A and B are shown apart, each in its own frame.
Chain A
Amino acid sequence: MARDKSSSTSKTGVDRWNSNEGASSKSARKTRRGGNNRRRSTQGRGHMFTLLALAALLIASAVGFIPPAERITQGLDIRGGVSVILTATKTDGTAPTADDMATATAIVQNRVNALGAAETSVQQQGTNSILVQIPGATNADTAIETIGRTGHLEFVRLDAIGDADALAKISAGTSDVKLKEGTYTAFMDGSSIRNSAVAQATTSATGAYAVNVSLDSDGAKTFADVTTELAPTHGQIAIVLDGVVNSAPAVQTAITDGNVSITGNFSLEEAKALKTVLDSGSLPVTLSYSESRVVGPTLGQDSLRQGVFAIAIGGAIVVAYLFFFYQGLGLLTMGSLAVFGIIYLGLLALLSRMGSFALTLPGLAGVVLTTGSAADSSILVLERFREEIRMGRSVRNAAIGGTKEGISTSLDADAVQLVTALALFFMAVGPVKGFGLTTALGILCDLVTMFLFKAPALRLLGMGTIQKHPRFWGIASDLAEAEETLGASASDVQTKKGGVAHA
């Protein structure tokens, strides 16, 4: 009775499953007694409760993923665009530090932003790679060229710029003035910068930010000379990155110790942007192309459409086959596949929203693979269920035992698949990671489906409906076989096969 109580108050499908398991081994051995009816009704209510909880989960998922085209982020190979992996190396052969990588990533981000494409993403991957994704990039050439360019940072005295047009623009405050090659001479380049940092400006009362730059000894000397010359007239020094004037601060005092502070009422973002510019001339690492994929925008969509079509056709054939083979019980398989699909899409939409998932073509292959496995685990349960009936168990007990044994076999199968999926996700590099991820997620959804749908649904049906219509549910032949065996020699069944075998 204590067990009954616990099963009627427990909340999750897993608990319910476990508690039924205990009950089933008992009721399987014993004949019906008083109390059994009551147990049956509490279990029935428990299964109903699990299914209701599942219904709520399904509605939440459906709300989350509809419409899937918007809610599930698409990878570059599906949206089309340019995807590049850059690998960083250091000239002295040491491994790039986390700082180096952060700086390099910021610099690449800057270059990518300059392309003006929307929704670009620049992420560090592993310890020494940077993944750049530019969706829908139509001009792959420009994109690849811009990302790969090493920034050339120069410091130019304004009075060393020969282009009058450019000078006028700079003094008018126009941003990003382009200087023609040969019209200016730099007195120092980015290689003299030892490091740069963003700090609160010491001279500012408003809390504006400044960028502090420290120069090496050669740079300090040059800078001292120039600033001593310019300070009396507050002459300007243009900071030029790849021929474009980024800013042109005026010299306030002579700077002789190589510690330059650039102020200008910067916000934190502005200061950081300037720091990135200053750093890009002295990129701490050398970036080289490791992988570059250029996908035409319509082609990716075609691939997605083909993939979805393949899943739909495959799913339909599987369901039809299972109806043919298991008749009414095929409904259960169809239900499990539907439940599986909805939870899966919901999970993918959730992860997309959190920004940690994008569906790629290898990922889509993973979806196809796990859809097959989800159908698989239904078969394990159904086969076991029918086998138990053939062994002479009542439909109700066969439903309980069949789900228990079938699910335990599925758990083993899932464990094997999860091992490979996780090995791929964590160890492989490149797009194949996406395959590992969707496979692993699919397995999780299959587990949820087993406990929240397959087990309670089959057990609920096993309490009466299936018994009443054995022909519709496709178990008539199994019942007949059980009867035959039992009739032939009742004792033989026990000796023939002791205990419970694996499905």
Chain B
Amino acid sequence: MRNHFSFEIPFMRYRKVLLTISAVMSVLAIVGLIVRGVTFGIEFQGGTEIDFYDTGAITIDDMREALVAAGEEDPTVQTTTVEGESGFLVRSGTTDPQVATEHADATAAALGLSAESYNVTTIGPDWGADVTRSSLLAFGVAILLIIAYVSIRYEFKMSITAVIALIHDMVIILGIYAWTQIPVTPNVVAALLSTMGFSLYDTVVEFDRTNDNAKTLRDGVHRTYMQICNFSVNEVVVRSINTTITTLVPELAMYFFGGATLKDFAFAMILGELLGTYSSYAVATPLLAIWKTREPRWAKLEARYGEGASTTTVTDA
């Protein structure tokens, strides 16, 4: 065994537990999507977003009152905290930038805030449609290219399970966005896309090792496809944990120390990274192992050497 541990972690023994956890999370996510729905950022639908910073002791009611007095109709106000300073994030349907800046100016003046303490972003209604179309296009093209790449390089059953794991991640992440009501912006889409691609690659590396071991591994311990999968997972798990940690740490730093835009990116990246790595081991590999075990050749081996037949702790002959 070539991992850093002196024993093999029995991932596959818990495959049903892992798959059940994933199924429960997916169901919860779908419920969230149906019940609460995803909030989209103003970039997709047009509207105005005003970020107020360093607002001191101003309360959310003060803020809302001042906005309404300035002429903003029905603004959504949220509190934010950046580097310990409190602030507000205001969203509204205003699509005329001139009106939006006037409202922001008036609000800031009414609350005694300086003219430098806020950002105003206004997106026109047609532009939102453009952004949506181009984001979907970029997303679709990238995912298709990645899937094509995986399918060309690896066996059919591997690409299918890898894609199932990917869909599983997407659904759960969308569910998290639905439950938390954090708006999905183009930045979120971009961040998800780049981490998902990377995580899908994690699965590919794992499968690659499994493929190799299924062909060449003759150590007398790992005979069934389940055992080979488990062995392969153990071989690459340290690498996988380390690469996840090294990418996750800068993202966490960005989440805790960065301003609104960076936080937006970081949150999506962290979710994509964690779920992507998790699903490689907890979804893709177990599904592949279960599916492959149904092939006559592996079914026979499973019957002879599998969990039911004897324990997996046979020592080397």
Contact = CB atoms under 8 A, between A and B. Distances in A.
Contacts of B256: 310
Contacts of A294: 97, 101, 104, 119-121
A436 interface: yes
B252 to A, nearest CB: 7
A496 interface: yes
B121 A310 contact: no
Contacts of A321: 245-246, 249
B205 to A, nearest CB: 7
Contacts of A68: none
B72 interface: no
A84 B97 contact: yes
Interface in A394-440: 409, 412-413, 415-417, 419-421, 423-424, 426-432, 435-436, 439
Interface string A259-302: 00000000000000000000000000000111111111111001
A62 interface: no
B61 interface: no
A296 B121 CA distance: 12
A365 interface: yes
Interface in B242-288: 242-243, 245-254, 256-262, 265-266, 269
A207 B93 CA distance: 56
Contacts of A373: 198, 247
Contact of A435 (B197, B246, B265): B265
B254 A296 contact: no
B145 A430 contact: no
A230 B150 CA distance: 79
A307 B260 CA distance: 11
Interface stretch (B167-175, B216-224, B303-311): B216-224
B134 interface: yes
Contact of B197 (A85, A295, A416, A432): A416
A178 B166 CA distance: 64
B126 A87 contact: yes
A496 B218 CA distance: 5
B247 A369 contact: yes
A74 B189 CA distance: 24
A122 interface: no
Interface string B112-123: 000111111111
Nearest to B114: A296
B239 A503 contact: yes
A114 interface: no
Interface in A296-350: 296-299, 302-303, 306-307, 309-311, 313-315, 317-318, 321-322, 325
Interface stretch (A45-53, A165-173, A383-391): A383-391
B49 to A, nearest CB: 9
B141 to A, nearest CB: 5
- Judged by DSSP, the binding face of A is helix
A209 B120 CA distance: 44
> Is the interface on chain B under 10, 10 to 19, 20 to 34, or 35 or more residues?
35 or more
Residue from A148, A372, A379 having most chain B Cβ neighbours under 10 A: A372
Contacts of B141: 423, 427
A314 B116 contact: no
Interface in B95-152: 95-98, 100-102, 104-105, 115-124, 126-127, 130-131, 134-135, 137-139, 141-142, 145-146, 149
Contact of A375 (B51, B213, B246): B246
A138 interface: yes
A144 interface: yes
Contact of A379 (B131, B149, B242): B242
B98 A145 contact: yes
Given A293-B119, A296-B115, A427-B141, A306 B262 contact: yes
A501 interface: yes
Given A372-B246, A413-B201, A428 B262 contact: no
Given A289-B96, A428-B134, A439 B194 contact: yes
9 contacts: A141-B102, A144-B98, A291-B122, A307-B262, A361-B261, A387-B2, A416-B149, A428-B134, A432-B189
Interface of A: 77, 80, 84-85, 87, 138, 140-141, 144-145, 148, 288-299, 302-303, 306-307, 309-311, 313-315, 317-318, 321-322, 325, 361-362, 364-365, 368-369, 371-373, 375-376, 379-380, 383, 387, 390-391, 409, 412-413, 415-417, 419-421, 423-424, 426-432, 435-436, 439, 481, 492, 495-499, 501-503
Given A303-B261, A306-B259, A481-B2, 19 more contacts: A87-B124, A87-B126, A141-B98, A141-B105, A291-B121, A292-B123, A296-B116, A306-B258, A315-B250, A322-B242, A369-B191, A369-B269, A380-B243, A416-B198, A419-B149, A423-B139, A427-B137, A429-B134, A497-B216
